[in-house]
Amino acid sequence: MEVAEAAEPMPALATADATARVPAIAATAVAVAVMEAAVATERWDGLLQGATLATLDAANGYGQIENGALAWKDGVLAYVGARADLPGDADTLANELFECAGLVTPGLVDCHTHAVFAGNRAHEFEMRLQGATYEDIARAGGGILSTVRAVRGASEADLFDASAPRVAALLRDGVTTLEIKSGYGLDFDNERKMLRVARQLGKHFGIDVRTTYLAAHALPPEFSGDADGYIDAAIGWLPRLHAEGLVDAVDAFCEGIGFSPAQTRRMFNAARALGLPVKLHADQLSDLGGAALASGYGGLSADHIEHTSEAGVMAMRDAGTVAVLLPGAFHVLRETRLPPLDLLRAHAVPMAVASDCNPGTSPLLSLRHAMQLACTHFRLTPEEALRGATTHGARALGLQDRGVLRVGLRADFVHWRVRQPAELCYWLGGGLADGVYAGGVQRA
Ligand code: NIG
Ligand code: FE
């Protein structure tokens, strides 16, 4: 990998099959077999040693462990600590040994994406560079509706093929948990198609994909002038999609060019009736009180929030709602209004960072790059950005079994070809991940 090699060459990852080195037992063949079976069940599946660990398992700081060791068994972390404190000879502890330098962090959690779509909107990018605004384009029937036309015209297989390279890119740069929203179908069959493709992508890549129902994203042409009627219809589709196991959460675009707070509440009431958590595209282009609205429903997160007021931030604090920062959209739309970062810090609202991967506002294929943008545009510290893309990203999805390196949590981790955690936010591009593990299995 060019960038890191130029900076500081890393020794190649060495693997060793430790199974061959189980101490021999002088006994009958049967006794040996019984003994080996017993040893095998106790041994860890894998043990990685020598790297610096950024566990994030501390209220502040990276939770850094130099010359660390990380072991996993049955998809769960079984040891996280100093190599020197391993409870025995490494050779006898695990079936597979990995000797490596570099850095190990929790797997990245991308808690806000629209990664399933067809086509692209590069022409809108050109239009915006000529002076058109995102709202102008949306009101003229482009924007989200242009992607709706492309998604409706794509078969399920086409949609999978179009989306898979994006998921592959996110995974290659460290993502082990990925949220994907619907919202470019806007009718029952096409919303279902999107959610089915999202689930298929998770299976295909062996990572956890969390799905969010975002039918309240834009008003489809067949409901023109009847946003309330459309919300009624979208509320009607939800129980069936939920019954098919396709929905983990419900979202809406609460905005002048999206849906009103009253319409958003109706959608959230339907989610609540099914026991589904909510999250919201809130206060991105104007302050409609979206962050407070989401918090009133105990929302997992309020996302974008560039225009959120202090009252909104305090409502988030009281409800434990995570602030999801989406610097990719801020960057691509050349926004100038920053999210209320000082207020979020002052009120100790957890801040997540996500890619918002989508064809309109954030054609961004790396969560690590989103972390970089969060530092440069929002002045997050690299530690805040890393925590935002791991611990707080997991919280924004309601997941407590990941996001830090700790015994008993999922064995989702990334082995990076850099030594210092801040380098993850420092390098632009380049692909720094050497190994991406989800549930203890290497997936990239
Ligand atoms: O998160 N703001 C609404 N939704 C997306 C953009 C979707 C699109 O333009 O296709 C966002 O920015
Ligand atoms: Fe979004």
Residue 203: Cβ-neighbour burial (10 angstroms; 0-12, 13-18, 19+): exposed
CA dist., res. 68 & res. 48, Å (int): 8
Max Cα–Cα distance, the chain, nearest Å = 83
pLDDT of residue 1: 32
Closest residue by Cα to atom 1, ligand 1, is 356
Distance CA 384, CA 381 (A): 5
Cβ count near 154 (within 10 Å): 22
Q: Looking at the DSSP assignment, which residues form a beta bridge with residue 16?
A: 97
pLDDT at residue 98 greater than cutoff 50 = yes
Tokens of 19: 């199974």
Q: Which residue in the block uniquely carries the two structure tokens 């894998």?
A: 46
Percent of residues, the chain, with pLDDT higher than 90:
90
- The secondary structure of residue 120, as a DSSP letter, is -
pLDDT value for 23 = 33
383 Cα–ligand 2 center, Å: 24
pLDDT digits (tens, 9 = 90+) for 300-322: 999 999 999 999 999 999 999 99
CA of 52 relative to ligand 1 center, distance in Å: 37
Any ligand 1 atom below 6 A from CB of 114: yes
| Residues 242-287: tens digit of each pLDDT | 999 999 999 999 999 999 999 999 999 999 999 999 999 999 999 9
| 134 CA: nearest ligand 1 atom | 9
Ligand 1 in contact with 63 (CB < 6 A)?
Answer: no
Q: Is the CB of 356 under 6 A from ligand 1?
A: yes
Read off the amino acid at residue 203: K
The pLDDT of residue 41 is 57
Cβ of 331 less than 6 Å from ligand 1? no
Is residue 253 in contact with ligand 1, taking CB distance under 6 Å?
A: yes
Integer Cα distance of 127 and 415 in angstroms: 40
- Residues sharing a CB contact under 8 Å with residue 423, sequence separation 6 or more, in sequence order: 103, 416, 432
pLDDT given for residue 79 in this prediction:
98
Residue nearest to atom 3 of ligand 1 (CA): 253
Compute the distance from residue 144 Cα to the ligand 1 centre, in Å.
7
Q: Could you tell me how far CA 239 lies from the centroid of its own chain?
A: 25
The predicted pLDDT at position 223 comes to 98
Shortest-distance ligand to the CA of residue 253: 1
User: Does residue 240 register a pLDDT over 90?
Assistant: yes
pLDDT-derived band at 7, boundaries 50, 70, 90: very low
Torsion angles phi and psi, residue 207, rounded to 5: -120, 165
pLDDT digit string (tens) for 14-25?
444 333 333 333
Ligand 2 mean position to 423 CA, how many Å?
27
Closest CA to 165 of 201, 111, 217: 201
Cα angle value 220/226/232 (rounded, 5°): 85
Point out the least confidently predicted range of 40-49, 138-147, 365-374. Answer: 40-49
Q: For a pocket test of ligand 1, which of 114, 163, 330 has the largest count of ligand atoms closer than 8 A to its C-beta?
A: 114
| Residue nearest (by alpha carbon) to ligand 1 atom 11 | 361
pLDDT tens for 26-64 read: 334 444 443 444 444 589 999 999 999 999 999 999 999
**From ligand 2's centre to the CA of 19, what distance in Å?**
47
CA end-to-end span of the chain, whole Å? 14
The pLDDT value given to residue 372: 98
pLDDT value for 42 = 86
pTM for the structure as a whole:
0.92
Give the per-residue pLDDT at 147: 98
The average confidence (pLDDT) of the chain is 92
Q: Rounded to 10 degrees, what is the CA torsion of 164, 169, 172, 174?
A: -110
pLDDT score recorded for residue 3: 36
Beta bridge partners of 81: 69
